[in-house]
Amino acid sequence: MPTLKVPWFPGSSCHITARGNHRNDIFRDGEDFQYYLILIEEALDHFKYDEYNIICYCLMDNHVHILIETKDKPPGKFIGRVNAMYAKYFNKKYNYIGHLFQDRYHPQFIETDAQMLEASRYIHLNPVKANMVEKPEEYQWSSYSMYIGERKEKIICSDKILCYFKDAGKRALYKNFVESGIKVKIDA
């Protein structure tokens, strides 16, 4: 049975998730996370004329979140290249046989500015909601610390999100916006 094409239109933005097969870990050590980021950077160069922009990302142990903006080509070629090359690396490194990823990527297309902001907050809060860290900037494999100015930007285009905030203090305003999504734990 043929795989159905994912609907897409030029200039769209998309929140992509890709999960490990059977929810298994797809990253086992820091080198794995780093290699996936290198593959994203390499794919941005490979597809430079197709003008993909990574708006934000978060790599979790068993899945990835990437918010990507497209221009002339659908995101499938981009994420397909990254995931296929990563699966070859992983399978060789860990002598793994079979599918690394549960399915092809899952896209959620962004239709409004509010959706764009919520997707970025959701992505950046993923490690907090998974109880891996208390603050989103503590998580090493996310673009959040680049957004708030704690790390130099690499592979992302934060201005796609930060343009929604006032120029003076936009990073602090974004930090307040994201962290307002953390539910306060009350001691009983």
Tell me the mean pLDDT in the region 63-75. 94
Any domain includes 67? yes
CATH code of 85's domain: 3.30.70.1290
Task: Calculate mean pLDDT across residues 157-186.
Answer: 87
The per-residue pLDDT for 3 is 55
In a domain? residue 121? yes
- Residue 188's pLDDT band (cuts 50, 70, 90): very low
Cβ atoms 102, 20 nearer than 8 A: yes
The span from the CA of 8 to the CA of 66, in Å, is 16
Token reading at 171:
């990073």
> Domain for residue 168, yes or no?
yes
Cα distance between residue 174 and residue 56, in whole Å: 13
- Summarised one tens digit per residue, pLDDT across range 17-34 is 999 999 999 999 999 999
The alpha carbon of 77 is separated from its chain's Cα centroid by a whole number of angstroms, namely: 16
Q: What is the pLDDT of residue 11?
A: 81
Domain assignment present for 129: yes
pLDDT digits (tens, 9 = 90+) for 79-133: 999 999 999 999 999 999 889 999 888 889 999 999 999 999 999 999 999 999 9
pLDDT value at residue 67:
97
| 136/74 Cα distance (integer angstroms) | 30
Q: For all residues of the chain together, what is the average pLDDT?
A: 91
Domain count, the chain: 1
Confidence check: pLDDT of 186 > 50: no
- The pLDDT of residue 166 is 83
Other C-beta atoms lying within 10 Å of the C-beta of residue 113: 11
**Structural contact between residues 25 and 94, judged by C-beta atoms closer than 8 angstroms:** no
Residue 185: what pLDDT?
Answer: 46
Determine contact, residues 39/83, Cβ cutoff 8 Å: no
pLDDT of 135: 95
Q: For residue 187, tell me if it sits in a domain.
A: no
Give the per-residue pLDDT at 4: 55
Q: Residue 21 falls within a domain, yes or no?
A: yes
Q: For residue 119, what are the domain limits?
A: 13-179
Q: What share of the chain is helix, strand, coil (3-state, %, to 5)?
A: 45, 15, 40
The answer to whether position 188 is within a domain reads no
Is residue 7 a part of any domain in this protein?
no
Amino acid identity at 80: G
